[in-house]
Structure formats: structure tokens, C-alpha cells
Structure 1
Amino acid sequence: MKTLVVRPPFVGLLNRRPWLKPSSLRLRTFSSPSSSSSNYSNQSRGGLPRFFSDILPHSKGGGVRIQGDEFWHMTKVLRLNTRDRVELFNGKGGLIEGCIQDIDRNGLEFVALEDLKIVLPQSTQWHVFAAFGTLKGGRADWLVEKCTELGARSVTPLLTARSPSISENRVDRLRRVILAAAKQCQRLHEMTLNPPTKIGGLLPIVAKSKLSFVAVAEAAPVYSALTSFTKELSGTLIIGPEGDFTEKEVDMIIKAGATAVGLGPHRLRVETATIALLTTVMLWSDSLQPLCS
């Protein structure tokens, strides 16, 4: 007879929220921030809840006031209190550990417990151009969230004949999605959400890029295309709208210098194609980087 093991309900919660572990778990210290990408990964993963702030103290004992959404999240959602330890990051590689010194109705005072760390970005710099302006529901949110988690350097809404616009309200929401995803995945460098761009504005970018891929049905598989290129850690990824690019648009993009690649035999949604292509090139880029000694 098999024995059924029932886990207490709080075990899963602890696994999902490592900052709930004992206070002895502190942010590890490392050598120079100019070290390799593995050090970036290590320095980005502390054991404390992390929040965004445009302004960070530069040294131990310095302070900054936290208000707005982050203040609400800290005190109303997580119910943090005075003397609780947290981390702040600025989306530009800055990271600092400190504690909550004081809380009032409108904000709280953060005091640094160490000097500011500056972590350099990873070397992979892939820029995504995706025609997702007409996606319904939360599909555009999901696309942008996963691009943030996977490490895209930027995402640009691409305006095409079959995806001609994106609302300003949608752009504001996507910026909030990016911030939330950066906090969740402990990314220290923000992913840029560029203004919507038409095909005409994309072509000069493709022409200047060392490597550009455009997802096209029935094109050669992306993996086969990658094997024919030498080491590149940056470039542009272009994904069309529901209904795909027009033939004229594809011709313009390829003539500008992009390589057409296929993503399998099935018709993919915009968000699926975007994440499939980004994941493939990110793993390819990572495999080209030298291992740390």
C-alpha cells in the first residue's frame, strides 16, 4: 500500500517566498561588479523582499523616503514594519540593503545598512519588436512579462498593416507589468519599453544591427539559421501580428538585412512566437559565453 504524504499548506508558501526564511539569511557579498555574468546572477538574488526606488542611498547610514505603490506594497500587502530588512533597486544595476526606520500615513523611511552595490548588465542584448498592439485580454501583458523574465534588453510595440495601433493606456499598464516582473525575477536592469514603431522606423535599426531575425512561416528553422552565424550576443527579433506580416512588409524587413526564420510547423500566436524566438536566441547566446573559472 502506498503512503500518502500531506504537506502542510505553508510549505509551498515558504518555497515561493524565500524572504520568509530566518533573518540570518543575508545578501551574499561578492567581488568586483565588473565580474562575469554568473556574479551578476548571484548578486541579483538576495533573500530579502525587493522594491524599486529611483533614488538610492550611496553609503551605509544614508536614507531615502518610499511612497506610492511601493509603500503600499511594503506596508499593506506584505505588512512590513519598522526594523524589517528589505532591498531597494533602481533598475540601472544599483542594489542596496537596509531596513525600515519609520512609517507614517504617507510613506516610510529606508536606512541603508551597507554601501550601494553597482552590478554591470549581462552581455546579452536582444531587442524585441513584436506586433502585439491588438492582442486581447492579458496576452500582451503576458508577452511583456515573459520578455522581462527571460532577459530581453527592450521591447517595442511594432505597428503594421494588420496591427496599426496601441492605446496609451495599454502602454502605461505594460510599464507597470515590466516593473512587477523585474521585482519578481530579481532583475536589476530594467527592460526598456520603447514607443510604438512603424515598419519604416524599424528598417534603419535592422540595417545597423549585426544580427536580426524575423519570424516567417515556412522559413528555415531558427536553429539551422543560428548554426550558420558566428558568435553574437546582441541583435533584433521581429515578430508579426495576428494574420502575419504582409508580403511587402516581409520583403522590406529582409532587404534591410534580417534573416527569415521558422518556428515549427504550427501556426503560433504572437506571444507564443515571441517567447519561442527569444528563448532560443537567449539560450544560444548564453552557450557562446565563456564559462567562469
Structure 2
Amino acid sequence: MNLALLFDEDFIADDQVVLRGRRRQHLETVLKAQSGDQVPVGRVGGLMGTGTLKHLDDREARLAVCLNMPPPEPLPLTLILAMPRPKMFRRVLQTCAALGVKDIWLINAYKVEKSFWQTPWLQEDQLRENLALGLEQACDTLMPNVHIRKLFKPFVEDELPGLMDGRRGLVAHPGTHTACPAHLAEPATLCIGPEGGFIPYEVDKIIEAGAEAVHLGSRILRVETAVPVLVSRLYDSCG
């Protein structure tokens, strides 16, 4: 936890917060914080700054906070991601948040198993917790938006063209002829398939919506690896 992320419910006054659970424990066991110590803090959706520890016991930590610094600029990227396997989904979410991706769309695909959509990690509180972990890692406060679309064709035909309007559209697909661009200075919409990739029908539909198919070379990467590699290749600012 490189930054203690503060939610509205943590505030007991404009400049006072109380932390419990994981964040309190981190202050005690990892940072070994004592009264008077300062730690980096940031309010969700707002400014960052410092928190001065005023009280710490086995239930809660009370801090006086001074918020006066803006968070990092978000990436101008919309990420369309076929629902990953639950065992890697949490890591992918945290990685996206840490890299500065603020617009995430989880979609269905032929190779996405129906059971993936039953994972408890899709519950609102679990989404928030894992996104918060990514923000804390990267010292950011701007919470990503996660949209869930369980029907592939309606999404690709009705919504995806709008998400690519005025933006560069890309679909990562091994075996294509065009290498993934790098060092973009423009907004983009990036589509990444499931383990095993999109099937040809799905790639064609995404291309029809306005994307171009690109590759990262001859190596086939897992989704949890492909996401940070692709995003960091597109935008220098997340590196």
C-alpha cells in the first residue's frame, strides 16, 4: 500500500479520517507507524496528500489529513476485455487500475466459459476492493468504471462503434500482419480476447465496428501478461 485510499465513509470531519480493517493493519504491521508519523493518502475521486497518525489501537487508526496534490493523469484508453478466468481476474483488475486505465468493459466471447460470470469477484464490493488495491499501488485516486456486457453481438453492434468513434480502435489478435503501435498520443479503444483469443467471427465483428487487428509478435501471452504489455506499449505515461 503505497497510498492509503480514503473513501467518503472514512471521513469523520473535513480533515479527519478513521481507518479500520486492512488499511489499519497495514499501518501497524507493515509501516510500523507510530503517533505523529506521516503517510501518503488520497481521497477517491479527489486530491492526494499526507495523513498524520493521531491514534492507533487494535480497532482503528485516526489520521489528520491534508489533501493538496492532484492524482496522475488517466490514460486516454478504453479497454474492452473478454471476461478472464476468475483466478486471474483479480490480478488483471488491479493491474488495469495501477496502469491508469479508467474505462473497462467486460464482455462475453465464445471461449469465455459461462461459469466465469458467476465469480464473486464481479460483485460491486469486490470490484471496488480490487480496483482500490491497484490505485493504492500506483498512488492514484481516480476509480475506474467497470461495465459488464454478457452478450457479445449486441455489444459489438450497438455499443462498440460509439466507443471507437473519434478514437483509434485496436483488437489484439496473434497472427495478424500489423504490429501493435507504440507511443500513442491519441485516445484509443483496445480489445483483448480471452485465453485462446477471439474466434475469427468475433475478430471480424470487432473490425467491422472500426478496429484494426494488431499483434505483439509470435509469442502467445496469457491475458494477465498481455494486458500490461499492450497498455504500456501504447502509452509511455503508464510506464
Once the two structures are superposed, the pairs formed by residues 123-138 of structure 1 within 5 Å of their partners are: 124-134=75-85, 137=87
Instruction: Give the C-alpha shift of residue 196 in structure 1.
Output: 4.7
* Residues 145 and 178 in structure 1, CA contact (< 8 A), matched pair in contact too: yes
Corresponding residue for 2:44? 91
Q: Which has the higher strand share?
A: 2
Provide closer, same or farther for how the CA distance between residues 197 and 274 of structure 1 changes in structure 2, counting only shifts above 3 A.
farther
* Number of residue pairs matched by the alignment: 229
Deviation string 1:68-115 (CA, Å, 9 cap, x unpaired) is: 322222224433222221232123231132311123443222113x4x
**Equivalent residues of 2:168, 2:211 under 8 A apart:** yes
In the alignment, residue 222 of structure 2 is paired with which amino acid? R
* Structure 1 residues 196 and 80: alpha-carbon distance in aligned structure 2, compared to 1, 3 A threshold: farther
Residue 117 of structure 1 corresponds to: 68
CA apart distance, 1:63? 1.5
Deviations 1:117-153 (A, max 9, x none): 2516526321222224335x4x333333332332222
Q: Are residues 216 and 50 of structure 1, via their aligned partners in 2, closer, same or farther at CA, if it must alter by over 3 Å?
A: closer
Question: How high is the sequence identity, in percent, across the aligned residues?
Answer: 22
TM-score by length of 1: 0.66
Q: Distance in 2 between the 1:65 and 1:123 partners?
A: 28
Verify the 8 A CA contact 1:89 1:188 in the aligned structure 2: yes
Which aligned runs of 4 or more in structure 1 are off by greater than 6 angstroms? none
CA distance in 2, matches of 1:120, 1:86: 16
Tell me the residue number matched to 2:147.
194
**Structure 1 CA distance for aligned equivalents of residues 160 and 179 of structure 2:** 18
Give per-residue Cα distances to partners, 1:23-80, cap 9 Å, x unaligned. xxxxxxxxxxxxxxxxxxxxxxxxxx521111387x9x83222223222222244332
**Aligned residue type for 2:175:** E
Distance 1:265 1:50, change over 3 A: closer
Normalised to the residue count of structure 2, the TM-score between the two structures is 0.79
- Evaluate the alpha carbon distance shift between residue 216 and residue 98 of structure 1 in structure 2; reply closer, same or farther with a 3 A threshold: closer
Residues 181 and 130 (structure 1), Cα distance of their counterparts in 2 relative to 1, 3 Å cut: same
Q: Helix, strand or coil: the match of 2:148?
A: coil
Higher RCO (CA 8 Å, separation ≥ 6 residues): 2
Match of 1:166 among 117, 134, 142: 117
Q: Matched residues in 1 for 2:122 and 2:217: separation?
A: 30
The amino acid that maps onto 1:222 is A
Q: 171, 179, 199: which is aligned to 1:246?
A: 199
The answer for the alignment partner of 1:218 in structure 2 is 175
Letter aligned with residue 193 of structure 1: V
Residue of 183, 208, 228 corresponding to 2:136: 183
Matches within 5 A, 1:1-293: 50-55=3-8, 62-112=15-65, 114=66, 116-119=67-70, 121-122=72-73, 124-134=75-85, 137=87, 139-163=88-112, 164=114, 165-172=116-123, 173=126, 175-199=128-152, 200-208=154-162, 209=164, 210-223=167-180, 231-232=185-186, 234-283=187-236
Q: Which runs of 5+ in 2 are unaligned?
A: none
| Residues 241, 258 of structure 1: alpha-carbon distance in 2 compared, 3 angstrom cutoff | same
Cα distance in 1, alignment partners of residues 174 and 15 from structure 2: 55
Distance in 2 (alpha carbons) for counterparts of 1:108 and 1:100: 7
Pair member with larger Rg? 1
| Alpha-carbon distance, 1:178 to partner | 2.6
Classify the secondary structure of the residue corresponding to 1:162.
coil
Asked if structure 1 preserves the Cα contact closer than 8 Å seen for 2:84 and 2:195, the reply is no
Computed over aligned residues only, the root mean square deviation of the Cα atoms, in angstroms, reads 3.1
Distance change >3 Å, CA 69–CA 231, structure 1 → 2? closer
